[in-house]
Amino acid sequence: MPRKSSKKPLAGALATGLRLLAQRSHSRYELRRKLGRRGFDEDEVESAVAKLVRLRYLDDRQFAEGHVRRRSATRGPLALSAELAARGVDRDSADRAVAAIDVEAQVAAATRLVERLAGRKSFAGYRELLDSVGSKLVRRGFAPGVVRAACSAVWDGTASTSEA
């Protein structure tokens, strides 16, 4: 439920929406919510959002693709899908954007995270590394198979350098 501000907005909903979109991309839901919080009535908000969609300044599918591109280095598909749902992106657009991440890219991103999260700690074995860092990656939305592959890649890399 949008809050009603006691102050009258200085600019119209369309101008405010354009200004918000100039700062960063938004989903339709986010923009409606922000404009409502700024005190615009529902009719003006809907009119502004419809015009921005017609002008192609506001597109949930492009928003979802951009969000996934930006966040896929630190988040897995499950977390990204949840983030998009929280931002009001429909399931179809979210699924298409998340499907664009191939498994190799997920493993590469997860491997970088394992290296960063493991830091300079030494682990007695692969299982200890998996228990310590793997749970953090699962919470970030990576599938267990991707987590195991990333931990294995890091463990194999550290095991071969420590023996040499």
pLDDT at position 119 is: 84
* 112 residue type, one letter: R
pLDDT score, position 120 = 81
DSSP conformation class of 25: -
Angstrom CA distances, 81 to 47, 84, 134, 140, stand at 28, 5, 20, 11
Overall residue count recorded for the chain in this entry: 164
**pLDDT tens-digit map of 8-33:** 555 799 999 999 999 999 999 999 99
Per-residue pLDDT, 163: 40
pLDDT at 143: 95
SS (H, E, C) 15-27: HHHHHHHHHCCCC
pLDDT score at 123: 87
> Which parts of the chain register pLDDT below 70?
1-10, 158-164
Vertex 29, ends 27 and 33: CA angle to 5°? 120
User: What pLDDT sits at residue 10?
Assistant: 55
